[in-house]
Structure 1
Amino acid sequence: MARIGRLRSAGLALLSVAAVVGAGVATTPAYAADTANSIVIADGVTQPVFGYADAVRERIFVESPVDTDSDGLRDVVAFDIMRPKATEDGLKVPVVMDASPYYSTVCRGNETECKADLDGDGLLDKWPLFYDNYFVPRGYAVILLDMIGTNNSTGCPTTGGSSDNIGAKMAINWLNGRAVGRDAAGRTVRADWHNGRTGMIGKSYDGAQAMATAVTGVDGLTTIVPIGGVAEWYDYTRSNGVVTRGNSYPSSLANTVTNPARRDYCKPVRDALAAADGDETGDYTAFWNERSYVNKAGKVKASVFMVHGINDNNVKPDNMSKFWNAIAAHDVPRKMWLTQTGHVDPFDFRRAEWVRTLHRWFDFWLHGVPNGIMDEPRVDIERAADVWETHADWPLPGAAATDVFLKTGENAGSLGLVPLARPATAKFQDTPSQSQTTMVTNPTTVSANRLAFLSAPLSAPLHISGTPTVRLRASADQTDTNFGVILVDYGRAERVAHNVSGEGITTLTTEDCWGESSPTDDGCYKQTQKRVQTADYEVVTKGVLDALNRTSVRTAEPLVPGQTYNFDFPLLPEDYVFQAGHQIGVIVVGSYSGYSSQVDQTRASIEIALKSSKIVLPVVGGTAAAHAAGL
């Protein structure tokens, strides 16, 4: 049993853990009775030797440098802390922080837990999620931070803007003695119990907060765990010039996360968001550049453990891939899970393994426990329901861009590795009201509203890993149109039902418990299971483009009717295996209702030059593997 007591510095803590664990000290279960001022390492992980019911609970307020509501006062960031009682006697502990705009509105987790002060003493009695129940007894402090403009913080939300993202940085500055914190009575409070290391975690907007804080480069942020997080707010609300979410979405989301009593007060801020978001064009502007964390990834000092649903239609997986590729370019220590579900927390799709892995991740990065987690495969990928693979990286090593050309065929068009020998064209009509189901079903039936291209049945599995891209050589009879392309797997199989209620999971009535409890907050949560369905096809990935943005998302350039152009654009990233006997389908449409809220009403007639049109698939094994699969 390894024990770490009242150490004077975080550096000493790291050396002491490494020394006792590395020396091969025998480990046995340990209990709080004999470890009042020590964390305990047993079986390679920190043990629950501290109380939960008697943990110290406090609320701290730190002044920020911004004034979002223009009231002449700097906005104040509020956050709630729970830490082991032993920190009052000299124990130094790290922080696990979830910064969120949702604690009093949408709330958190599969069971929609809100913060709650049940007795009115200004301190939390009900803490959302399991982090406090599980990690505080193991020698961590947990901070739940209210994003500026939400719950107990002042100001107004700005939906991913720089002022949204200052709160967690200010909390980390306070933890490390670089900012003044006060309690509700105005008394100065210092974090003399902190060991200098903070990890941030959170799903969706909370995950965006973690990435946004990391790209500030703030000292003391050691690791982040973004789950389905927004890394590019442009890609969250637009795609290649097409508005994919409703008009004035940043303003709408800001309204959602603002407490009802403050919504009228914050209306001028929301009006300014609506005026600046550029809905009328869908172009990429300075408004969206401010809300890009990918562009600032070079400042990241923290390690990153990403989790994302490869079928997430809320925060689409290009948010994952762009941030992942950006931090990889800067050699940031990193790990990732990719799941077949949609917008779901790993606590609800792989619970036991998630808690085990997250525990080891935080132990390594925040307590310095040398548990070997960084020597393990970097990426876990869910191949089928609850069937996981590990890989060295993502995209998988050996994935290579492979040209697959659109060709003519008897009924539907065909696909092949060699382009047509002679020029040929195919025409269709942009039909804004066409549903995705209509687009992809009956691919061998000729339709005036889409083009369908099918491979022959595959003779061997074909694995793609990465981001497919499309080149359409095309003309239109109008000055504007949209394009959409859908990659489909045609073949009957059991698949994760990510496209129905629950986004791939079903919530059960039974519970299991993860951590300690108090009379007002237990660590027990409803169990879940994967939702599966047997279907004749799967929409693998998809993408859209506003033809006006064919050369740049920053500027629009009208078409000359009848003139032929190249329209190049990415589909959403994927990691997918087409099974032997299945057929690969490529569906080409104009406007893509269901994917985007903005459809083009010009209803252009579009003509595709097939010889120069193709989809480029990131095939594991490249062209040789595509040949072997019968393409």
Structure 2
Amino acid sequence: MEKDRPIVMKDDIRLYCDVYRPDDKERHPVLVGFSPFGKVAQEAGRRRDPIQLGKFMYEQGIEIGGIDFFVSRGYTVVVVNPRGIQNSEGVWTGVLSRQDQIDCCEVIRWAGHYLPDGSVGMIGCGYAGKIQPLEAAMDPPYLKAIMPVDVIDDMYLDCYPGGILSDINYPLCSYIPHTNTISEAEMENSPENLKEMLAEARRQPEIATNSYYYRGLDSFPPRHYTWNIDVMLHPYSGEWWDRRSFKDRKVTIPSYIVGLYYEYGYTTISAFDIYNKIDDEVPKKLMMIDPASAKTSPYEKPVAEQLRWYDYWLKGIGTGVMDEPPMKLLVRGINKFRYEHEWPLARTQWTKYYLRDGGLLSTEKEKDEHVQLTILNHKSPYEGGSNETYAVPNVVFRTPVLEEDVEVTGPSVMNLMCAIDKTDANFTIMLNDVPPEGEGHPLNLVTGNLRASHRGLEKKELEPWELNNDHTKKVPVVPGEINEYTIEVMNTSSVFRKGHRIEVEVKNYDANPYHWMVQLPNSQDIEYKIFVDSIRDSYINLPIIPYSDEDQWIR
């Protein structure tokens, strides 16, 4: 182990890295880990059994697990402090900033030139995973393959799911050991413009009632948790977010995308989006795992699969990894892995499950056009003290008890006919698995969100999984006006077992304290009128998988 080795950037700024290498005189391929949580945290986790996602990672400090695992198998591992982090020089400018992308490119070039046999890969989850497709698109010399765990296609939707500000960035900022930082908003705007941006953000009701967020906006220049400042000052999708996003970038090197089934967060959708955007001529693979299921054999953790991948592309060892179908999907509910070839699956039967009177969820549409509408009254959690009970008003719709297993694998979209009594409101849709009575509580599988003012106004033909919501601007709602809201629900793959029920839950936000990423609730009371009649029908379009060939299941 070689600590604090300097890497000089083109502007003479020095980044410091730790180098872990086998105890021999051979030259080995290098795996680069680049994380703003700092190399000290990664050293703390290096001797752990290969990192169990959803366990130790939830501390959000250790993103580069299994260092000793790879070194003992003939790899050199380089873990870097980005600029402005711990002892590295310079100024940190936020998550996946253009500066971080350029610096990481320089680190890869340095590692390929000075350390190995000319072959470099990358490792890591979280930030250390999200930066990998961006680096591959920059095509740095020596980078031969990537295998990111936890990726993001659109950073705006990661921070504003459905256009609603997420509360994940504030705690993340507290984990980042930056010693010198500045927001890009401060760098790119005059003092006058920046003051107006801060004032506009303070006028947002959900921010004005949140002391954690408001305090960072009420000082000048804003230097308190600067990444969160940047998030709040850029509430709409656009060029600023595109600089940090994969979107339409082009990758030409072998890429193995590992996605996570989260109830929240854009990573589940992003894994498939990035995979589909990489040209079919480029060697590519995808694996979906569940961070909550550490014992889903045969791929308990991605580290062993990473070894197969990098042994093949960096060492030329015939591991068989490219002889398999391109996708490995964990099917939850039965916790088995299955090979697939495309996404969405070609054999999908898109099935509308209608919200019906009395809380029924059914594949049969309501026949009566005069059915009483469903009322949801959201109460502001900021009124009258605290939200310590987490009793968020909701309405639920459930199928009858299932007479056979039902598999839902793919993207889902909620079409909700609704009128609200305010100019804006949040929608949270939760797809839940309800076990037989007495066998536990409903399990939230995936969630979808939409800010009403970001609804799609353009009417056009869409595929069952497509949306046309506009996150580039805010269009207030006319109170009392009936609108169709199309709400993207996270991708999933799960079997609802015989005897269970499928549930759709509608609410303003989820206050579950055990969920690591939720959206800020509306700060005012809101009445939702949900229409469930035969004319103004509301439904969720679920991707039902009717069958899978026996040889698709991984034994």
Sort the TM-score into its range (normalised by shorter chain): 0.7 to 0.9
2:28 pairs with 1:79? no
Which residue matches 1:288? 241
2:348 pairs with 1:413? no
Aligned counterpart in structure 2 of residue 605 of structure 1, from 527, 530, 548: 527
Kindly tell me: are residues 360 and 265 of structure 1, through their superposed partners in 2, closer, same or farther at Cα, counting changes over 3 Å?
A: closer
Give the TM-score normalised by structure 2: 0.74
For residues 286-305 of structure 1, what are the alpha-carbon distances to aligned partners after superposition, in whole Å with 9 as ceiling and x for unaligned? 33222112342x2x223222
The letter of the residue matching 2:99 is S
Which residue matches 1:373? 321
The letter of the residue matching 2:71 is V
**Within 2, Cα distance between the matches of 1:63 and 1:269?**
29
Kindly tell me: are residues 202 and 588 of structure 1, through their superposed partners in 2, closer, same or farther at Cα, counting changes over 3 Å?
A: same
**Within 1, Cα distance between the matches of 2:263 and 2:365?**
33
Asked whether the 8 Å contact 2:348–2:544 carries over to 1, the reply is: yes
Aligned-residue offset at 1:416: 2.0
Mapping 1:21-100, distance limit 5 Å: 57=2, 60-65=5-10, 74-84=12-22, 87=25, 91-100=26-35
**In structure 1, the residue corresponding to 2:106 is in which secondary structure?**
helix
**Within 2, Cα distance between the matches of 1:435 and 1:587?**
21
**Within 2, Cα distance between the matches of 1:546 and 1:264?**
29
Which residue matches 2:441? 536
**In structure 2, the residue corresponding to 1:574 is in which secondary structure?**
strand
Aligned counterpart in structure 1 of residue 475 of structure 2, from 544, 557, 564: 557
Asked whether the 8 Å contact 2:333–2:497 carries over to 1, the reply is: no
**In structure 2, the residue corresponding to 1:152 is in which secondary structure?**
coil
**Within 2, Cα distance between the matches of 1:487 and 1:537?**
10
The letter of the residue matching 2:243 is E
Asked whether the 8 Å contact 1:401–1:616 carries over to 2, the reply is: no
Segments of structure 1 that go 5 or more residues without pairing to the other structure are: 1-55, 66-72, 114-126, 178-190, 440-448, 495-533, 623-631
For residues 255-296 of structure 1, what are the alpha-carbon distances to aligned partners after superposition, in whole Å with 9 as ceiling and x for unaligned? 63234x557999968469469635277322333222112342
Which residue matches 1:519? none
Which structure shows the bigger proportion of residues in strand conformation? 1
**In structure 2, the residue corresponding to 1:283 is in which secondary structure?**
coil
The letter of the residue matching 2:419 is S
Give the TM-score normalised by structure 1: 0.66
Asked whether the 8 Å contact 1:160–1:233 carries over to 2, the reply is: no
* Percentage identity across paired residues of the two chains: 19
Mapping 1:424-443, distance limit 5 Å: 424=371, 425-433=373-381, 438=391
Which residue matches 2:55? none
**Within 2, Cα distance between the matches of 1:132 and 1:326?**
30
Aligned counterpart in structure 1 of residue 494 of structure 2, from 576, 580, 590: 576
For residues 156-203 of structure 1, what are the alpha-carbon distances to aligned partners after superposition, in whole Å with 9 as ceiling and x for unaligned? 3212211122222102222455xxxxxxxxxxxxx2x53222110102
**Within 2, Cα distance between the matches of 1:275 and 1:356?**
35
Aligned-residue offset at 1:57: 4.0
The letter of the residue matching 1:404 is K
Aligned-residue offset at 1:493: 9.7
Which residue matches 1:462? 406
**Within 2, Cα distance between the matches of 1:109 and 1:570?**
38
Which residue matches 1:196? 118
Asked whether the 8 Å contact 1:476–1:604 carries over to 2, the reply is: yes
2:217 pairs with 1:279? no
The answer to which of 269-278 and 606-615 deviates more is: 269-278
The answer to which of 224-233 and 574-583 deviates more is: 224-233
**In structure 2, the residue corresponding to 1:587 is in which secondary structure?**
strand
Aligned-residue offset at 1:571: 0.9
Which residue matches 1:452? 396
Kindly tell me: are residues 108 and 128 of structure 1, through their superposed partners in 2, closer, same or farther at Cα, counting changes over 3 Å?
A: farther
Aligned-residue offset at 1:555: 0.4
Asked whether the 8 Å contact 1:431–1:591 carries over to 2, the reply is: no
2:75 pairs with 1:140? yes
**Within 1, Cα distance between the matches of 2:29 and 2:14?**
23
Task: Say which one has the larger Rg.
Answer: 1
2:540 pairs with 1:621? no
**Within 2, Cα distance between the matches of 1:432 and 1:466?**
34
| Aligned residues: CA RMSD | 3.7
Kindly tell me: are residues 264 and 339 of structure 1, through their superposed partners in 2, closer, same or farther at Cα, counting changes over 3 Å?
A: closer
For residues 198-239 of structure 1, what are the alpha-carbon distances to aligned partners after superposition, in whole Å with 9 as ceiling and x for unaligned? 110102121123233123222321222222344433233221
**In structure 2, the residue corresponding to 1:321 is in which secondary structure?**
helix
Which residue matches 1:119? none
Mapping 1:27-426, distance limit 5 Å: 57=2, 60-65=5-10, 74-84=12-22, 87=25, 91-104=26-39, 106-107=41-42, 131-157=66-92, 158-177=94-113, 191=114, 194-245=116-167, 249=169, 253-254=172-173, 256-259=175-178, 262=180, 270=223, 273=226, 277=230, 279=232, 282-296=235-249, 298=250, 300-311=251-262, 313=264, 316-327=267-278, 331-342=281-292, 354-383=302-331, 387-393=335-341, 395=343, 397-400=345-348, 402-409=350-357, 411-422=358-369, 424=371, 425-426=373-374
The answer to which of 232-241 and 593-602 deviates more is: 593-602
Which residue matches 2:451? 546
